[in-house]
Structures are given as structure tokens and as C-alpha cells.
């Protein structure tokens, strides 16, 4: 029998390893720029073409490499950052695994030009598919220049799964933004197809925040500072009114490394208490420094995950630092309730077995109440079908005709929230907010389908400063947004104007609402650009949700019976009137059978 287990060749091994470290062009930027930072650079320029698919070039003025080191660096497990296994427990650099450059050269065409201050000439290497095809001396300035061309040229399956150019540019821009915030003492420049996307000149942290996010956010920053032994928290947070729908403004750094860590983000949100809703997130730039041997960054090849030796200590310090910063600005923080102390009794916890009453107990008032309670509980255990419209087509048609012929009589409104109406089937209970939201949603969707969204020009256009990654994204889809009724104008560096909105949203738009709309566009960029059935577009539902809360009739709004009747007529005229855009019921029917059962009219 022929042997089946073989040893893979070096190139195949490197291609497999590249899949763990190099996921997309942004991964190349991350690894190369981190190497530049470790090389003591104070000026780093990143050039990309076609979203990094055609070219990623990183130029730095760091210490450079001698010829032998340059040739050694493209092999796996070669590094200048650590010497042995003991060093893994005290990492002081961004890179240390010795995998990144070897992974990159195995799946791209790479050119390296590097020179140290001591050497007269630099080194010029050309590598294709992991093999050095040219090695010669060259004249060059101190530092290193690495050009990565045609990423995944020899792994077509991986290249096929890269996203659109704007998406790849967005990932790269966001990562360079994090590095610029982590190292304000370094000048960063990002250029895409000869266009300057991000410039962060060397300075202090607040100047970097100003350069990247604009003066509005910089002026809203509150300092944060707390120290406990060798654990130090510094940075800036913003007041609750600057919170965003997206969590993309949580910038967290541990020992100079950008991380996404649940323990830390949970501590931040707990520090804000109830001052921001659970569905929103603050803008925060938090820097946490601790002894290197108390944090493990060697969890994954990409170094995205970290582990703390004492998570409870980290959580407590960050939570108190955030809380104290907000309270020092005059804001009263109320603690978020994680679990209620007293839980209400639910129907499922009530004994449903019919109690046995003695003759004496039966005649007592208390026993009568017990019987009544039992009856209600038993009735409410009936299937939900008894409370919702039946799926039978004939019944649906009948209900629609009820609405069309206005054979429906509004009896009243409970707590300015629920409309009660009489129909041939029984009683309608209608949530006035959900109903109006569904009506507005259908109007908006129908306008989009006909490519004729009614637009409201804003008398006072809303100006919004965006971070560079958001700006590039909005610029790439601004023409697509016209379909949805939004006219966006590029106004300045990383600044846009919203000039018009769908008329269904009203005649004006608040600044905070405009920020939420931007977050919705950002979260749904792919489906905005692709041909997707409108009913399946989450962006439409999210937009409707935002203005429904401000534009639609809300729970607690007092309306006339005539207006209630009109809402029911419009709602029942829709093809699918019984649920709001997010699937919640708009109408519940208490049919005659259910009502008779409540009143025991089924007794003979």
C-alpha cells in the first residue's frame, strides 16, 4: 500500500500560515506598519492602490535593516523582537511571532528597500511567491520601504473573496486611525490612488483627535485618569449626549496595542451607568497600561485577542475611572440594574390545576376571587392563534374588506396607546405607534420601488464631521443614497452636508438623528450598493425605526377617534397589515369565541 501521509513543501506551508495572519489588504497594512513602529520610526507613509489589492506600500524612517537581516526577515519564525520562550511572558513590541513578513511574501509580489544609518548602501530585494528573484545593493535613505503588489496573485480563491474597493479602503483607514491614536508621537499619512485620505501630524493625543475626528468631538472630550499600583488608565471620554448608535467609536488600547476586549468595553458601559441607553455607545479614547507579564497578547496570530491575569481588577479600575470623570464634569451617574431584586409572578409559574373547594370555601368571597383568578389563567393559556388574525386567505380578504368598507367602529383608546374597535369578528386592539410606523414604512418602500421618493429640502442643511473611514464610505455611496431620498454633499475635509431627507421623515432633522442615519448607512453599505429586494433591506427598516420614533404617532400621543379610524382604515388596506416592519404585532383580535369563553357563555 502506498504511503498517504506526506510532508508539505515550504511554499504550501507558508500559504496556509498566511491565511491565519493575512486576511485582507488591511492585514498587510497592520503588520507592516507595526514593524515600522517597532523600528522606532516617527514618520510613516502608507500608499495603497485599488483598495490595497494592487498595491500596499509602507515607507518609514526607522532604523532599517542590514542586508543579512533583510533576507532573513522573510523566513518564518525569524524576528528581532524576542530571543526565547521566556520573552513571550513580557512582550514589549507590537510584533514578535516572526510570521507576518513570511506570510506576506508567500502570497504577493514584494519589493523591499532598506538601509541603516551605519551602512553606505541599502539593500534591494524582490520576492515573488516566497522566492527571492533579485538581491542587489542600492542607494536609499535610512529606513525601510516595503511594496506589496498583487496580493493573493497565486491564491485566486482567497483573492476572489476580497470585498469591494471602498470596503477594503474602509478597513485600512480604520486601522491606520487606531495606530495614529495609539502613537500620537508618530506622523501618519494614508494615500489611496494618489488621494490623501488621512493625515495625522505628530503631536499630542488631543491634536490627533482633532485632526482625525474634528473640533466638535475634540472639544467634547473629558480627561480620564486613574492609577492603582502599576495599572494606569488615561485618555478621554465624551459626555452621554455624544453617544452613537454604532460601537465603532470605542477606541481601546492596551500597552500601545489597539484591542477589542469585552471586559474593558463592559466596564466602560457600566461606568456610564444609565446615562446612555443600552442600545447606544459612547465615544471614548481609553489607554490602559499595565506590566507586560500581566497581559497575554499571544492568543491568536493576528494578536486581536488579549487576556488579563486579573480581569476583575481591570474591570473595577476602568469602571471607576469612567464614572469619576463623568461625575467630575457635573453628571450624576445612576448604576445600571443588572438583575431586578423582585421578579413578578409569571403565568407559567402559577399552578394551573383546578383547586378543590369545600362547601364552606366555595361560599366565601376569597374563594370566589380564587376561582376568578383560575378562570383568567386558564383562558390565557389558550393558543396565541385565538388572539392573532387567522392565516386563512378568505378571512384575510374579509378583514381587508372591513377596512375598505369602513365597517369598523372605534370604541375608544386605552391610555392614549391602544385603539379599541368593534368588527364583525369581535374586538380589535391596535397599537397606534406600531400601526402608524407600518403605514409610513409602506409609503416609503412604495416610493423607493417607483424610484420617486418624495424629498424634503432642508432649510438648514446638517453638517457632520466624520472620521476618515466613514467619510470614504459615505463618499462612495452618496449617489446610491439618492434612491432613498438623501442628498449628501461633500463639504470639506472629512465633512459632509445632509441637504435633503425623505419627506416621510418630516421637514427637519436633528443632529443626533443625522449621526444615527450615518451609522445606519455604514452598517448597511453592502446592501445599499447591491440589488436587494426592498422588503429585505435592513437599511430601510432601520431608517423607518429612527424617524418612526420621532415622526410617527407614539404611545401616549392623544389622537381623536376620527384619526384612529383613519389609521385603522389605512392599516387594513395594506397587503400585510398585522405586523410592524420589525415583526411586532400591530393588531390583536379578541374573537367572539375567546370573549364567550372568558364570560363562561360556553356553559349549558
pLDDT per residue over 331-381, tens digit each? 776 665 444 333 333 333 334 344 343 333 333 333 433 333 333 333 334
Per-residue pLDDT tens digits for 553-580: 777 788 888 888 889 888 988 888 888 8
Judged against a pLDDT cut of 80, whether residue 405 lies above it is answered with no
Per-residue pLDDT tens digits for 411-455: 888 888 899 988 777 788 898 888 888 888 888 888 888 888 888
CA–CA separation, 35 vs 42, rounded Å?
12
Q: Which of 195-198's residues contact partners 24+ apart within 8 Å by CB, and which partners?
A: 197/169, 197/173, 197/468, 197/472, 198/173, 198/468
Per-residue pLDDT, averaged over 595-603, amounts to: 70
Give the per-residue pLDDT at 226.
95
Judged against a pLDDT cut of 60, whether residue 160 lies above it is answered with yes
CATH of 220-328, one of 3.30.230.10, 3.40.980.10, 3.20.20.70, 3.40.710.10: 3.30.230.10
Compute, in degrees rounded to 10, the torsion defined by CA atoms 392, 396, 401, 403.
150
Backbone torsion region of residue 489, taken as left when φ is above 0, otherwise alpha when ψ lies between -120 and 50, otherwise beta: beta
Domain boundaries of the chain, sorted by first residue: 10-202, 220-328, 373-604
CB 587 within 8 A of CB 430: yes
* Statement: 373-604 belongs to CATH 3.30.1540.20: yes
Lowest mean pLDDT among 54-68, 203-217, 246-260, 441-455: 441-455
User: 386: which DSSP letter?
Assistant: G
Q: What is the number of residues in the chain?
A: 604
- Cα 265 to its chain centre, rounded Å, is 13
Per-residue pLDDT tens digits for 101-130: 888 888 899 999 999 999 999 999 999 877
Name the band, by pLDDT with cuts 50, 70 and 90, for residue 26.
very high
Q: Which fold has domain 10-202?
A: Heat Shock Protein 90 (3.30.565)
CB 441 within 8 A of CB 142: no
**Predicted TM-score (pTM) of this structure:** 0.70
Question: DSSP alpha helices (H): ranges in 220-294?
Answer: 262-272
Integer-rounded Cα Rg, in Å, for the chain is 31
Per-residue pLDDT tens digits for 468-509: 988 988 988 888 888 888 999 988 778 899 999 988 777 888
Give the per-residue pLDDT at 388.
40
* Residues paired with residue 456 on neighbouring β-strands, in sequence order: 501
Q: Please report, rounded to a whole number, the percentage of residues in the chain having pLDDT higher than 90.
A: 30
Q: Grid coordinates standing for 240?
A: 452621554
Q: Is 375 exposed, middle or buried (0-12, 13-18, 19+ CB in 10 A)?
A: middle
Higher pLDDT, 367 or 590: 590
Amino acid at each position: 500500500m502506498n504511503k498517504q501521509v506526506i510532508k508539505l513543501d515550504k511554499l504550501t506551508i507558508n500559504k496556509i500560515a498566511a491565511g491565519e495572519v493575512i486576511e485582507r489588504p488591511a492585514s498587510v497594512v497592520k503588520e507592516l506598519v507595526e514593524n515600522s513602529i517597532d523600528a522606532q520610526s516617527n514618520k510613516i507613509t502608507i500608499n495603497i492602490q485599488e483598495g490595497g489589492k494592487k498595491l500596499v506600500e509602507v515607507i518609514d524612517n526607522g532604523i532599517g535593516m542590514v542586508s543579512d537581516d533583510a533576507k532573513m526577515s522573510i523566513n518564518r519564525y525569524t524576528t528581532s523582537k524576542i530571543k526565547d520562550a521566556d520573552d513571550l511572558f513580557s512582550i514589549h513590541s507590537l510584533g514578535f511571532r516572526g510570521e507576518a513578513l513570511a506570510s506576506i511574501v508567500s502570497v504577493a509580489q514584494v519589493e523591499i528597500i532598506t538601509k541603516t544609518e551605519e551602512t553606505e548602501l541599502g539593500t534591494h530585494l524582490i520576492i515573488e511567491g516566497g522566492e527571492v528573484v533579485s538581491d542587489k545593493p542600492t542607494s536609499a535613505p535610512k529606513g525601510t520601504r516595503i511594496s506589496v503588489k498583487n496580493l493573493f496573485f497565486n491564491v485566486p480563491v482567497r483573492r476572489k473573496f476580497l470585498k469591494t474597493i471602498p470596503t477594503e479602503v474602509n478597513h485600512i483607514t480604520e486601522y491606520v486611525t487606531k495606530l495614529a491614536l495609539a502613537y500620537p508621537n508618530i506622523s501618519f499619512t494614508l494615500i489611496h490612488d494618489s488621494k490623501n485620505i488621512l493625515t495625522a501630524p505628530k503631536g499630542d493625543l488631543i491634536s490627533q483627535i482633532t485632526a482625525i475626528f474634528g473640533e466638535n468631538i475634540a472639544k467634547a472630550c473629558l480627561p480620564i485618569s486613574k492609577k492603582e499600583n502599576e495599572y494606569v488608565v488615561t485618555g478621554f471620554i465624551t459626555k452621554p449626549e455624544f453617544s452613537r448608535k454604532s460601537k465603532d467609536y470605542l477606541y481601546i488600547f492596551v500597552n500601545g496595542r489597539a484591542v477589542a476586549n469585552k471586559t474593558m468595553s463592559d466596564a466602560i458601559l457600566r461606568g456610564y451607568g444609565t446615562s446612555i441607553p443600552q442600545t447606544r455607545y459612547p465615544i471614548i479614547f481609553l489607554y490602559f497600561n499595565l506590566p507586560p507579564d500581566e497581559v497575554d497578547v499571544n492568543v491568536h496570530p493576528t494578536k486581536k485577542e488579549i487576556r488579563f491575569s486579573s480581569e476583575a481588577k481591570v474591570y473595577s479600575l476602568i469602571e471607576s475611572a469612567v464614572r469619576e470623570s463623568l461625575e467630575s464634569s457635573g453628571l450624576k451617574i445612576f448604576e445600571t440594574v443588572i438583575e431586578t431584586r423582585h421578579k413578578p409572578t409569571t403565568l407559567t409559574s402559577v399552578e394551573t390545576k383546578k383547586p378543590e373547594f369545600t362547601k364552606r370555601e366555595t361560599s366565601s368571597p376569597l374563594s370566589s376571587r380564587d376561582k376568578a383568578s383560575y378562570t383568567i389563567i386558564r383562558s390565557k393559556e389558550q393558543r396565541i392563534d385565538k388572539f392573532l388574525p387567522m392565516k386563512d386567505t378568505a378571512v384575510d380578504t374579509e378583514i381587508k374588506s372591513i377596512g375598505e368598507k369602513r365597517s369598523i367602529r372605534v370604541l375608544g383608546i386605552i391610555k392614549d396607546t391602544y385603539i379599541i374597535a368593534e368588527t364583525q369578528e369581535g374586538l380589535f386592539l391596535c397599537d397606534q405607534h406600531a400601526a402608524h410606523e407600518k403605514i409610513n414604512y409602506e409609503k416609503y418602500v412604495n416610493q423607493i420601488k417607483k424610484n420617486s421618493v418624495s424629498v424634503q429640502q432642508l432649510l438648514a442643511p446638517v453638517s457632520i464631521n466624520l472620521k476618515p473611514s466613514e467619510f470614504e464610505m459615505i463618499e462612495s455611496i452618496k449617489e446610491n443614497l439618492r434612491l432613498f431620498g438623501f442628498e449628501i454633499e461633500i463639504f470639506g475635509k472629512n465633512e459632509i452636508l445632509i441637504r435633503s431627507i425623505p419627506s416621510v421623515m418630516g421637514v427637519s432633522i436633528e443632529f443626533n438623528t443625522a449621526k444615527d442615519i450615518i451609522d445606519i448607512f455604514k452598517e448597511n453599505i453592502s446592501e445599499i450598493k447591491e440589488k436587494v429586494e426592498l422588503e429585505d433591506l435592513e437599511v430601510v427598516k432601520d431608517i423607518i425605526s429612527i424617524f418612526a420614533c420621532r415622526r410617527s404617532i407614539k404611545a401616549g400621543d392623544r389622537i381623536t377617534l376620527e384619526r384612529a379610524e383613519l389609521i385603522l382604515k389605512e392599516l387594513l388596506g395594506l397587503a400585510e397589515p398585522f405586523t410592524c416592519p420589525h415583526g411586532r404585532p400591530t393588531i390583536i383580535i379578541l374573537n367572539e369565541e375567546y370573549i364567550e369563553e372568558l364570560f363562561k357563555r360556553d356553559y349549558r
